[in-house]
Structure formats: C-alpha cells, structure tokens
Amino acid sequence: MESGRKLQYVVTTAVSLLTTAMGIFSAWRTPMISKIWANETKIHIDDEDEYKILLMTPIGFYIGVVFAGFCCDGFGRRTTILISAVIFEIGTVFAAFGIKVWMLCAMEFFWQFATGMLTVASGIYLAEIADPDIRGRLVVVTRVTFSLGNILILSIGPKVSYEKMNYWLLLVAPLAFVACYPIPESPYYHLRKNNEEAARREFARIRENEGTETIQTQFNRLKSHTSKELEDSKSFFKCLIKRRYTKAIIATFGMKLIYLLSGTVAIQSYYSTVTWESDVVLSVNDMFKIYMSIRIIIGLASAVLVDKVGRRPLYMSSFIGSSICLFIMAIYFLSRDVLLLEKKILHPFANVRFAALIIFIITSSFGVASLTGLTTAEMYPLNVRTKGVVGVNLFAALGFAFGKMMKAIRGSGGDLGVFCAYGTGAAIGCVFTYFCLPETKDKSLNEIREVLQGKSRSNGVEMTSREA
C-alpha cells in the first residue's frame, strides 16, 4: 500500500461497510415484502398499505438529503456519517419489532432518511480526504459496495425467515458505526469553522507517513486555497447568478438530468418487457440479481480505470454504448408494433434484444451509473460544496416527473417511443460530456475550481496532492 495513503484506504473500507449496509436496507423490500404477502409474518398488508410504505422512500430520502446539508457544514462530514448509521439502526429496530403497518412506514422513512444523509456526506468526505490520483477509485468503490449490499439481501433474504433476517440486520449498522468511529474528520470542515489546529491535526493523520516539513507546506497551501474560497458567499442561490460558478452548475445539474433521461435507473421497470418473447426465462428478482452482479463487476473495473483514463472517456464510452443498445431494443419494438412482423420471424431477434439489455447494463455501469456522485462532489468550491451536492440530489426528484412523462410517451408511442427517448437521452449525454464536462483526473480540488472558473492551472499542490 502506497506510503502516506494507508489511512485513506482504511477510511474508504470503513465507509464502504456503511454503504454496504445502505444497499442492504435499500433492497430489503424486495424479498421481505413478498414474505409479508405470503403470510409468513405477523404483519398483514394490502395494496394501500404497501403504497404507504413505498411513499416513505422519496419523502425520507429527500428530507435526509436536506438534513445532511445542515449536518455536514454544522457538525462535520464524519459526524454526519456516524449519525446516518444511528438512524439506520432506528429503522432496523422498527423492522425487527414492528407488528403494525405504521411501523414499517417508520422503518422505510428512517432507512431512506439515513440513505439521503450518507449519499451526500460520503461523497463529499472521500473527495476531500483522498489524493487526486486515487480520489476516483475511492469514491466509486462506495457505489460498488452499495450494489454488493443489494445483492446480499436479495440472495440471503428469500432463504431466511422474516424475523431472523431482521434480527440479524440489527447488527449491521452498529458494526458499521464502530468501523467509522475512528476515521478522521475532513480538514476542510475544520478550516471552514476556522479551527486551524484541528485541521492541521487531521491533515497530519491523513498524510501519516509524510515528513513534518512536507505536511506543513502542503497544509499551508490548503489553508490558503480554502481561505480564498470562503471569502465568497456561502449562499448557493447567490452563487447561481455568479458567472464563475456557471460551469460547475451546468456540469453537475446537466449530468444529473442526462442520468435521468438515459434510462439508467428506469430500465429496471422494463425487465419483464425486454425478456418477454426471448428464450431466456427469468423472474424480475433474478434479473435484478444479474443487474446488481454486473454493476459490482463493472463498477470495480470502473474504479480501477477512472483514475487512469479519466472521467470523460468513461462517461462518453458509457453513453455511446448505452445509446446503441437502447436503439437496438427500439428497433425490435419497431418491427413488432409498427411493421407488425410475424412472431416466428421476430423470435430470433428477441434474444438479440435481451443481449442488448445485458450490454446496456454493462455500459451504463461502466460510466454514468458509477461516476455521477464523484463528479458532483469534485466540482464545487468549499463555500458551497455541501449545498451544491444537496441541490443536485434534490434535483433528482425530477425523476418522478420523467417517470410520468415516459408513461405518457408509452401510452402514445408504445415501447418504441420509450426506448427511442432513452436512446436519444444517452446520445445527448455523450455530446454534453464532450462540450460541458471538464476532466478532473489527477487534479486537486483547488485545480478543479480554477479550471471551472476559467483561471490558469495552479502550480501549487493542495492537501490531496503528492509532492514530486
């Protein structure tokens, strides 16, 4: 393990344990609600009750995102991560001992509240403590472990009783809390609070194997850069009208919009549509396991490559591959619904359509699905970093509006219209990446800020830079 970076990898491992827990809690409904419907538990629900539980997902998540914004700047990134672990455990208590529908609603609310908090805090925290040439892999790994948590609960949940599963889950969040408790606070937070001594102490912990003189020199640069950033307004709304923030806002909000328009998330609701008529017989649960397995494998590959080839090449190749696959699936629906080809003629192409779906999952996992959170955390200066990340995550609420829009498109244009729309969105993503997304590979957070604000690249080295 590289000199001076041991703690950075240890910290990432600790945070990854909590994001694995987040993945477990996020996918809990899939195996466990089916057990409730099968009368394997003491709880009985109907369609209206399930709708109430599902309604807690967006409500809890977006309230958690907003709360994380206050916590990250008010109490620290590390503290926010630890609070999210506590809230995960509160939700798990409701899951383990709940016998009423309102308890399941409370469970889902607290789990999603904590998910919103951790989504914001983990990306900011790791982006601030990691060296520039490993920052990408450390942040992306947490996305991979989220998928690992998904597949763990999907694989184990159906084989274990409802009660035993929930009792075992009571151990998950406390273990993650214990792992995260010793991690250092981000020096950026302490500098934001004008606590220079605490910032220097945490900085020295993170760069544990560097010489004292090297640490002091780099800390002085960090302090100088953050002081300049904090001179500007801390109001995100005021920054919206300032020209030097325009590139960051366009890049982050635009990429989130493209993420929604490219079908990366929504495609999951079309698994049964795509597998139908092919020779592959899979349940939605099995298809979801395949999806998550691919996300893990390709996510790890993305983590290895993101700091070697850069963010832009991964994004562009991901969008190009996704667009091609979506249009291939659209051609099948064109042949079936518009050209009205006979079933026996279409049957071989149904397998091609399924193959296109698998390749789509691979290509989308390679870039857009893995990197969106990373680029958001990198783009904003310290004075509005937390508010920028919170704003982008709240912007994702448009996904519900896009879902309604896609239902309207499907009603008028059928599956052909939906997949053409998603394919076009992915193609637009490639163009957007080329023209609007700056490359952040090997750049310190200060250097990224200078690129976005049109300044010349600094020759100085920030906290996260390596001395030559």
Tens of pLDDT, residue by residue, the chain (468 residues): 455 688 999 999 999 999 999 999 999 988 888 888 888 888 888 889 889 999 999 999 999 999 999 999 999 999 999 999 999 999 999 999 988 999 999 999 999 999 999 999 999 999 999 999 999 999 999 999 999 999 999 989 889 999 999 999 999 999 999 999 999 999 999 999 999 999 999 998 888 755 555 788 888 888 988 888 888 777 777 777 777 888 999 999 999 999 888 888 777 777 776 776 666 677 777 788 888 889 899 999 999 999 999 999 999 999 999 999 999 999 988 888 888 877 777 777 888 888 898 999 999 988 888 888 888 889 999 988 999 999 999 988 777 777 777 777 777 888 888 899 999 999 999 999 999 999 999 999 989 988 888 764 443 344 444 433
Q: Which fold has domain 236-437?
A: Growth Hormone; Chain: A; (1.20.1250)
Q: What whole-number distance in Å separates Cα of residue 354 and Cα of residue 350? A: 6
Measure the CA angle with vertex 86, ends 82 and 87; round to 5°.
Answer: 115
CB 389 within 8 A of CB 124: yes
Q: Is 192 helix (H, G, I), strand (E, B) or coil?
A: helix
Q: Is 195 helix (H, G, I), strand (E, B) or coil?
A: coil
Of 460, 285, 38, nearest to 293 (Cα)?
A: 285
What is the torsion angle, in degrees rounded to the nearest 10, for the CA atoms of residue 83, residue 88, residue 93 and residue 95? Answer: 160
CB 429 within 8 A of CB 449: no
Of 103, 89, 120, 68, nearest to 24 (Cα)?
A: 89
Question: First vs last Cα of the chain: how many Å apart?
Answer: 18
Assess whether the region 6-183 and the region 236-437 belong to the same CATH fold. yes
Q: Is 400 helix (H, G, I), strand (E, B) or coil?
A: helix
Q: What is the DSSP letter of 380?
A: S
Q: What is the DSSP letter of 341?
A: -
CB 462 within 8 A of CB 445: yes
CATH class of 6-183: mainly alpha
Query: Token pair of 254, please?
Result: 């635009």
CB 369 within 8 A of CB 140: no
- What single string gives the DSSP state of each residue in 277-324? TSS----HHHHHHHHHHHHHHHHHHHHHHTTTT-HHHHHHHHHHHHHH
| Predicted local distance difference test score (pLDDT) of residue 277 | 65
Q: What whole-number distance in Å separates Cα of residue 70 and Cα of residue 80? A: 9
Q: What is the DSSP letter of 1?
A: -
- What single string gives the DSSP state of each residue in 244-280? GGHHHHHHHHHHHHHHHHTTTTGGGGGHHHHHTTSS-
Residue spans per domain, the chain: 6-183, 236-437
Q: What share of the chain is helix, strand, coil (3-state, %, to 5)?
A: 80, 0, 20
Q: What whole-number distance in Å separates Cα of residue 293 and Cα of residue 280? A: 17
Q: What whole-number distance in Å separates Cα of residue 350 and Cα of residue 158? A: 30
